[in-house]
């Protein structure tokens, strides 16, 4: 599972040829969520509120890059790193 970004202890990843809708996975100290890229919403899982707000803001900022990575992952192409929040 390729790593897309890491910030504030949060790890963002995508699976190759994953199911729709376009999404990414976020992990933080044992908590995991799937985030719908187009709507910046939680599809599955639970996350601490503070870290969830960071992830959703990051998703909004990088939606276009995330969608580009989603398309690459669907055809097993290399996924690009995306700038973390600072």
What are the extents of the domains in the chain?
A: 3-74
Over 90: is that where the pLDDT of 63 sits? yes
Q: What is the mean pLDDT of residues 47-62?
A: 98
Residues 6 or more apart whose CB falls under 8 angstroms from that of 51 comprise 8, 9, 10, 26, 28, 31
Q: Read off the pTM.
A: 0.95
Task: Please name the residue that has the structure tokens 């995991």.
Answer: 32
Whole-number pLDDT of residue 85: 94
Over 90: is that where the pLDDT of 1 sits? no
Per-residue burial over 7-26, b = 16 or more CB atoms within 10 Å of its CB, e = otherwise = beebebbbeeebeeebbbbb
Q: What is the rounded CA–CA span in Å between residue 9 and residue 58?
A: 14
Whole-number pLDDT of residue 33: 98
Q: What is the pLDDT of residues 18-46, one digit of tens each?
A: 999 999 999 999 999 999 999 999 999 99
Confidence of residue 51 (pLDDT cuts 50, 70, 90): very high
């Amino acid at each position: 599972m390729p790593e897309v970004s890491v910030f504030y202890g949060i790890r963002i990843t995508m699976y190759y040829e994953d199911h729709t809708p376009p999404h990414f996975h976020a992990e933080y100290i044992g908590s995991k969520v799937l985030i719908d890229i187009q709507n910046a919403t939680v599809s599955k899982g639970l996350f601490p509120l503070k870290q969830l707000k960071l992830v959703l803001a990051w998703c909004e900022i990088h939606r276009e890059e995330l969608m580009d990575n989603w398309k690459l992952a669907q055809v097993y192409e290399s996924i690009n790193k995306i700038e973390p929040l600072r």
